[in-house]
Structure 1
Amino acid sequence: MGFLKPNMPHIDIAEWQTRSRPDRIKPMAQHIAENGMGNPDVFTLLYVVKIGLYILGGLLFALSTTGIDRWGDIETWWSEPIVFQKVVLWSLLFEVLGLGCGFGPLTGKIAPPMGSPLYWLRPGTIRLAPWPNRIPLTGGDSRSIFDVALYAGLLGTTVFALLSDGTGPIAQLDTSVGVIPTGKIVPILALLAVLGLRDKVIFLATRGEVYGSLTVTFLFAGPNMIVAAKLVMLAIWIGAATSKLNRHFPFVVATMMANNPLARAKWMKRKFFRRFPDDLRPGFIARFLAHFGTVIEMGVPLVLFFSDGGTLTYLAAFVMIVFHLVILTSIPLGVPLEWNVFMLFGIGTLFVDKAAIGWTDVTQPWPIAALLAVIVAGIVIGNIAPPKVSFLPGMRYYAGNWDTSQWFFTEAASQKLADHRIGLGLVQHKQIEKLSSPEGTQASLSLGHAFRGMYAHGRGLLTLWDHVIPPGRDADYTVIDGEPVAGYAVGWSFGDGHLHNEQLIDALQRRCHFEPQELRVLILDGQPIHRQRHEYRIVDAAAGEFERGTFEVADLVDRQPWELDVPVTVLRRDASRSRM
């Protein structure tokens, strides 16, 4: 790949366009196995610069605190409790401003590279309440002045707390600076709670399961705050590891490493697959890294939590630092980069510097237990019933087992989105059309379909296209993943199918009035941890759901990305709606 020019597959476009869908996918998947997505190096540089600005922002907010002085004395104040608090709040602010996860060209956002405040400070944009029919005063899907005020209030109160001085000496925490006053934390949490009930998108965009939970710990006194924060991070690691106890995760590792900008040699990328170019199932190295990484993420944090310093703590911290650096340097396409930087900082400040503070120092066990119970409930429900809980509070990070969707647009549907000015800029495939030729657009979109097929569940999704598209109308539809659709329509996305399911379809239908067959959506639920199958639904925006069914995980993992013959069990099909 070049610095400015992407590395696209070298194919005869005219001849390639005459092939069947499996034969079009195959060279694209083989290209990904050797080159990743072929993004230009300038993209990587952009994200490296963004990480640097995130770190700089955290340092500046820390230095704004009375008693924390001078860059050169960072070794004396980096582990102050108030610095940890400010890094958490700065991370929350960074994310809810749209600068963190889901930012930029690697997530399909080009012009503009983010949405977030550009949407959430604008009345009339789409909002998605988590329980609109159950929680009073949360119904509807249009953003009001009240919603804008809530979001602006969250930004303002967070900045106000970030510029706060400490409360003064706390002997139990060995600090003369103190912590952020509780009175400045409560408004942030109150606004986040109300805002989250009005719009789940904003709550998820704050990474509420991480930074929101950690902000709750700031309400606890003295060592209770430190122990509670450690438990939150422990839940994140163990929850994420639990979700990886599946047959999907090796596919994630193989694909992520093929896309790693540091693993540049083609021979190295090929090693992650069984037998390139004909067998692109995960090879031994990918499977070993997946399972070994899961063991590390499940077990080493427990050592960190229960050790109280010394060699064992340092060794466990080193292992977890390497673990997060591997993720960070792979530049995963959801770009949760600053989150990994934060986890590195948390390891140092909570588990190494404050290793001596443990459960025996707790004086507020019941509030801590209540917080932990809420977090664990989200993890348990999210793994048992994925459609009920977003993959973020479900902590199903990187598991390869996400709720997802694919959207089938006719030209008429795309035009209606533009005419009704649903989002900023253009939906993904229209952005690509502006930047490329028709042939280049088709190749780029097909590369994206192949990338989806590199994951186990992608084989099932691509097989189901024939169930979605009316006979003889393949050429009428452009297919894109639901994630960029959500980024366009609601201002943020981060691999979460809960943001682009029936709720978004209904919101768009109320605005655009699609005709039958103009827009169709294939929705896939994540695999429950106790069942070895996926459930899917096919929805016509105008006619409603017309098919649902299942397919088995065992049938996915034995196929290649281009083998689109996964056995499907149709549980219900409404033929009249499918023909409408």
Structure 2
Amino acid sequence: MGFKEADFPPVDPETFLDKPLMERMKALALHWVEYGFGTPKMIHTIYMVKVLILYVLGGTALVTWTSGVGPFWDVAHWWNQPIVYQKLILWTVLLEAIGIAGSWGPIAGKFKPMIGGILFYARRGAIRLRPWRRVPFTDGDCRTGVDVLLYLAFLASLLVPILLPGVPSAALSDAVPDNTTGLVQPALLIAPIALYILCGLRDKTIFLTARGEQYLPALVFFAVLPFVDMIIAAKLLICVVWIGAGISKYGYHFSNVVSAMTSNGPCVPFKSVKRRYYRDFPRDIRPSKLASLTAHVGGSAVEIATPLVLLFATNRWIILAAVVLMVMFHLTIISMFALAVPQEWNVIFAYLTVFLFLGFPAGDGYAVTDMSSPWLTVAIVAVLVFFPILGNLRPDLVSFLPSMRQYAGNWASALWAFAPGAEEKLNALPHRPTKNQIDQLQAMGYPPAVAEITMQQTIAWRSMHSQGRGLFSLLLKNIHEIDRWTVREAEFGCNSLIGFNFGDGHLHNLDLINAVQARIGFEPGEWVIVWVESQPIHRGTQEYQVIDAALGVIERGTWRVRDAVAAQPWLPDGPIPLQVTWRREEAFRALSGRAEPESEMVS
């Protein structure tokens, strides 16, 4: 991998695209094992410069200056100041909401422009996705002037408490008598909390972009709780995030994430190391025992056990060891450059670990049992675990982010298939500040064939995950002459339509398809979507849909996760078993080219 040059797959661009789809997937998946996406190191450097200059140095300088502490390079003077902690949370939310933190840049599929977020959310007429249809005053899928004003007001409401100095707090003075900086004025947090909720009810994309499932509770704690309770509640919040993510990673999916992510990590330079994360490269690239060990011991076990130690331990050396372990955990994730690129999120979590558990350890009066009322503790825990529990039992009702399934591999996912020439229609979408990624790459100087192969690397990445084997099986079963069609990774595709992607298939479900269809009008058989919901924690199956943009859902069914995990990414033995529960036979036969229905497939 060069600094400026990408590690392009070793294929002939002039002939490669004439090969069958799954033959292409095999070549690109094998290339991914050793090179990942092949991103030039210059791109990784740009990300790290952005995080260092804009987020860390810029944010810290601003926060310390407006808080009356500093200078910002004197870390020992401000690292445990509560107002700095509060303002860094607000600064993180602001950058996330603008779109210049997570899901930014070319690794996230934003090539030109490299930002989504504000380019979409501040534009009248852009697509808006409401989370729940029964909420009053949220009808429609078009962003109005009111939506734009709400969003811009949200950004302003975050900036105001960042810029204004703190105010004295009696509760803080009682707990930390020598504190002189105070806390963010609670009244200044009412507006961002209210606008967080209002923007989110109108458009779930904004709420998820600003990571409301994690930062909104923190703002509520800042606004309503006395200081000691605020710190303990913040500890409970971060531990719920860690433990929820750790629990979600037990299962069949996460080992696939670890192997694919390791292959894409620029800090893993040796191909021999990357190959060890697969069973028998190049014959068998399912995750190896090392990948599973890394996933479930280095990942799940650490995320569950270490937070419990931090929450209840009182020995300072044990706390220090646990803090170091969690900081290293987040630094490791940063080094892997996951495709949603949540670098700022990992930086703030590393800082929060140090601030909360070393700055205010349990043995100094900040244990869970030190909260002012045990009923308050119960209430906070109940609220924090409600959506993770519901989302794991009923993933169709809750985004995978509030469900705390970050990077667990158990995602709602989709592939988009376009009949020859049909993808170009998406560029006619009104009020869209971007074009299709294939066109973005060509605008940057990529030859058409090279741009197409680059985009096909993203679907090869999907094939290396459990749900990818099921999605490709659906394409092979449902679309006649699929080798002639253009197949796209929906996670990348949706961010060019709504400005954000983070691995959440709920952002490109039927609501988005209908919104696009209402504006463009694809003909039947031009745009077909294979979409799958996350696996419920208590079931061994995933529910899928086959959607024709013009006709709606034309097939529903399930597949067994065991079957998906057991298959090779390129499906050498054919599609995995699919249990069809409902089908529009006429539409199915038209797409699949079959004269008669396969009645034995339908239960």
* TM, length-normalised to structure 1: 0.96
SS at match of 2:525: coil
- Corresponding position of 1:255: 260
- Corresponding position of 1:349: 355
Shift of 1:137: 0.5
- Corresponding position of 2:173: 171
- Corresponding position of 1:377: 386
Deviations 1:176-216 (A, max 9, x none): 21111110011110111111111110001110111112111
- Corresponding position of 1:361: 370
1:425/1:65 CA distance change after superposition, 3 Å:
closer
Give the counterpart letter for 2:32 in structure 1.
I
1:350/1:204 CA distance change after superposition, 3 Å:
same
Shift of 1:557: 1.8
1:552/1:144 CA distance change after superposition, 3 Å:
same
Query: 5 Å matches for 1:84-483?
Result: 84-132=85-133, 134-168=134-168, 170-174=172-176, 175-219=179-223, 220-292=225-297, 293-355=299-361, 356=364, 357-363=366-372, 365-367=374-376, 369-410=378-419, 413-434=422-443, 435-469=445-479, 471-472=480-481, 474-475=483-484, 477-483=485-491
Matched, 1:6 2:6: yes
| Worse overlay, 481-490 or 541-550 | 481-490
Shift of 1:365: 4.8
| Worse overlay, 433-442 or 153-162 | 433-442
The separation in 2 between residues aligned to 1:313 and 1:172, in whole angstroms, is 24
Give the counterpart letter for 2:182 in structure 1.
G
Matched, 1:21 2:21: yes
Contact 1:456 1:557 (C-alpha < 8 Å) held by counterparts? yes
SS at match of 2:396: helix
Shift of 1:23: 2.1
Give the counterpart letter for 1:526 in structure 2.
S
The separation in 2 between residues aligned to 1:65 and 1:180, in whole angstroms, is 11
Shift of 1:570: 1.4
Shift of 1:489: 1.3
Shift of 1:412: 5.2
1:136/1:423 CA distance change after superposition, 3 Å:
same
Deviations 1:79-103 (A, max 9, x none): 1111110011001001001011110
1:172/1:410 CA distance change after superposition, 3 Å:
farther
| Worse overlay, 237-246 or 460-469 | 460-469
Matched, 1:523 2:531: yes
The separation in 2 between residues aligned to 1:291 and 1:459, in whole angstroms, is 22
SS at match of 2:487: strand
Shift of 1:320: 1.0
Query: 5 Å matches for 1:37-76?
Result: 37-52=37-52, 53-76=54-77
The separation in 2 between residues aligned to 1:386 and 1:20, in whole angstroms, is 34
SS at match of 2:216: helix
The separation in 2 between residues aligned to 1:337 and 1:367, in whole angstroms, is 33
The separation in 1 between residues aligned to 2:118 and 2:84, in whole angstroms, is 26
Give the counterpart letter for 1:450 in structure 2.
A
Matched, 1:507 2:512: no
Give the counterpart letter for 2:241 in structure 1.
I
Aligned length: 577
| Worse overlay, 149-158 or 481-490 | 481-490
Contact 1:168 1:178 (C-alpha < 8 Å) held by counterparts? yes
Contact 1:427 1:484 (C-alpha < 8 Å) held by counterparts? no
The separation in 1 between residues aligned to 2:449 and 2:78, in whole angstroms, is 56
Shift of 1:492: 1.3
Deviations 1:481-536 (A, max 9, x none): 11122211112111110110000011111111221112111111111111111111
The separation in 1 between residues aligned to 2:99 and 2:531, in whole angstroms, is 25
Matched, 1:532 2:540: yes
CA RMSD of aligned residues (A): 1.7
Matched, 1:550 2:552: no
1:69/1:161 CA distance change after superposition, 3 Å:
same
Matched, 1:577 2:587: yes
Contact 1:234 1:302 (C-alpha < 8 Å) held by counterparts? yes
Give the counterpart letter for 1:128 in structure 2.
L
| Worse overlay, 411-420 or 343-352 | 411-420
The separation in 1 between residues aligned to 2:449 and 2:429, in whole angstroms, is 28
- Provide structure 1 residue ranges, at least 5 long, that are not aligned to the other structure: none
SS at match of 1:313: helix
Give the counterpart letter for 2:576 in structure 1.
V
Give the counterpart letter for 1:49 in structure 2.
V
SS at match of 1:129: coil
- Corresponding position of 2:599: none
Shift of 1:266: 1.0
SS at match of 1:439: helix
The separation in 2 between residues aligned to 1:369 and 1:196, in whole angstroms, is 26
Shift of 1:361: 2.8
Shift of 1:371: 3.8
Deviations 1:243-270 (A, max 9, x none): 1111111111111111110111111111
Contact 2:556 2:583 (C-alpha < 8 Å) held by counterparts? yes
The separation in 1 between residues aligned to 2:403 and 2:3, in whole angstroms, is 37
The separation in 1 between residues aligned to 2:326 and 2:254, in whole angstroms, is 19
| Worse overlay, 358-367 or 250-259 | 358-367
The separation in 1 between residues aligned to 2:44 and 2:478, in whole angstroms, is 36
Deviations 1:51-99 (A, max 9, x none): 1021113212322335313235431222111111001100100100101
Matched, 1:30 2:30: yes
Contact 1:423 1:491 (C-alpha < 8 Å) held by counterparts? no
The separation in 1 between residues aligned to 2:307 and 2:390, in whole angstroms, is 22
Deviations 1:104-150 (A, max 9, x none): 00011011111111111111111111112x11101111111111111
The separation in 1 between residues aligned to 2:67 and 2:415, in whole angstroms, is 51
Shift of 1:3: 1.4
Contact 1:172 1:222 (C-alpha < 8 Å) held by counterparts? no
SS at match of 1:464: helix
SS at match of 2:553: strand
Give the counterpart letter for 1:491 in structure 2.
G
Deviations 1:396-439 (A, max 9, x none): 01111100111122455433322233522211233234443333
Shift of 1:338: 0.7
* TM, length-normalised to structure 2: 0.92
Deviations 1:214-258 (A, max 9, x none): 111102111010000000001000100111111111111111111
Matched, 1:494 2:502: yes
The separation in 2 between residues aligned to 1:514 and 1:212, in whole angstroms, is 39
- Corresponding position of 1:565: 575
The separation in 2 between residues aligned to 1:201 and 1:66, in whole angstroms, is 32
SS at match of 2:285: strand
Give the counterpart letter for 2:314 in structure 1.
D
Give the counterpart letter for 2:459 in structure 1.
H
Contact 2:7 2:40 (C-alpha < 8 Å) held by counterparts? yes
